[in-house]
Amino acid sequence: MVLTLLGGQVAALFLEGILYGVYLTTFVISLRWFLYDDNKWKRLRDVNWPMLIVTLCMFVISSLDLALAGRRSFVGILHAELGTPLPNLLWSGIVQSFLVHLQSVVADAVLMYRCWVVFGRDYRVVVFPFFLWLAEIATMIARAVFQPHDSTMVLQVRQVQAVFWACTTGNTVYSTSMIAYRITSVAKMNNNPTRQLRFVLRVIIESGLMIVTTSILAFIFSFPSNPFSTLFVSAITFMVIGIAFNLILIRIMNSRSDDVVYTRPSAMTTIRFTSIGTALTQSSTIAGDQDLEQGKPMPKSGSEQNIDNTVGSKLI
């Protein structure tokens, strides 16, 4: 039984290592966009320090969890070869469990912040996800406290873990849906959704689906007594959250950099996000009919430029 369980731990470690390689790639690329702009290094005052610090924290969490999983498997293999009983690695299991949940708590906090900012910093929008987030923190702590010393605590641990992933799923679904709704509403009021706006909407939905799918799997496999399913699902969920987080940053920052902005001297447009229930303000002077008649591509208007930059800056 020890060898069988140990084999499952090694297999889960192998899977987590592969996903960590993908995560590490996205992490390095995201650092490039944080610190380097076009052909020069960014000035310190131009760096998005809050989001950079969050990205670094998630990297430390992911790396530490992988290191602990590797140590746990190595110690297990060593004692299995020597024929000695396995030492008590309860502290390692507690720390790993805490890190897995902490990764999700941090990601949900950032997603909740994005939702709050996109809605003009209206606190009413984030009341529901905030309480879900507090429930995540409470269950994360309870999961560490109820870490089973013996078989009598297994049921309590699984119940707490199921509640945690249910809150995570609800938080992600709500915040992602609200952000998508806000972007769609702005696009409709603008009557001309830009390529950048549609791209940002797709990025948010795709990354949200990645996290929701793995969170639902983690919730489902919180109930079976098979330890192998928990090992594999935890490894997948843990790394997918970090990968999805980095992909949002990379794709939006890369799109903003590649997007060539054209402005017309005769155009003056102002578009801004306002609080809930207020209209989108727009005043514009349109020119360029001659270019259209001659078959020239229509340059990006000032409104499109403004709304592209606004959406991008609010989500990273």
Prediction pTM value? 0.81
pLDDT tens by residue, 76-85: 888 777 777 6
Tell me what pLDDT residue 267 has: 42
Tell me what pLDDT residue 87 has: 62
Tell me what pLDDT residue 7 has: 80
The domain locations on the chain are 1-263
Contact, 203 vs 251, CB < 8 A?
A: yes
Tell me what pLDDT residue 258 has: 61
- DSSP lists the bridge partners of residue 37 as 40
Mean pLDDT of 211-227: 86
Least confident window among 1-10, 74-83, 87-96, 180-189: 1-10
Tell me what pLDDT residue 196 has: 78
Question: Percentage of the chain surpassing pLDDT 70?
Answer: 74
Tell me what pLDDT residue 155 has: 80
Question: Percentage of the chain surpassing pLDDT 90?
Answer: 46
Maximum mean pLDDT: which of 58-62, 73-77, 87-91, 274-278 = 58-62
Distance, in Å, from the CA atom of 13 to the CA atom of 67, rounded to the nearest integer, reads 10
3-state secondary structure of 205: helix
Tell me what pLDDT residue 277 has: 40
Does residue 44 surpass a pLDDT of 50?
yes
3-state secondary structure of 40: strand
- 294 versus 48: the higher-pLDDT residue is 48
Tell me what pLDDT residue 151 has: 62
The per-residue pLDDT of the chain, averaged, comes to 80
User: Alpha carbon 40 to chain centroid distance?
Assistant: 28
Query: Greatest CA span in the chain, whole angstroms?
Result: 85
pLDDT tens by residue, 242-286: 999 999 999 988 877 665 443 344 443 444 444 444 433 343 333
Tell me what pLDDT residue 268 has: 39
Least confident window among 8-17, 82-91, 234-243, 268-277: 268-277
Q: List, in order, residues 6 or more apart from 173 with CB less than 8 Å away.
A: 208, 212
Which class would CATH give 1-263? mainly alpha
Distance, in Å, from the CA atom of 96 to the CA atom of 181, rounded to the nearest integer, reads 36
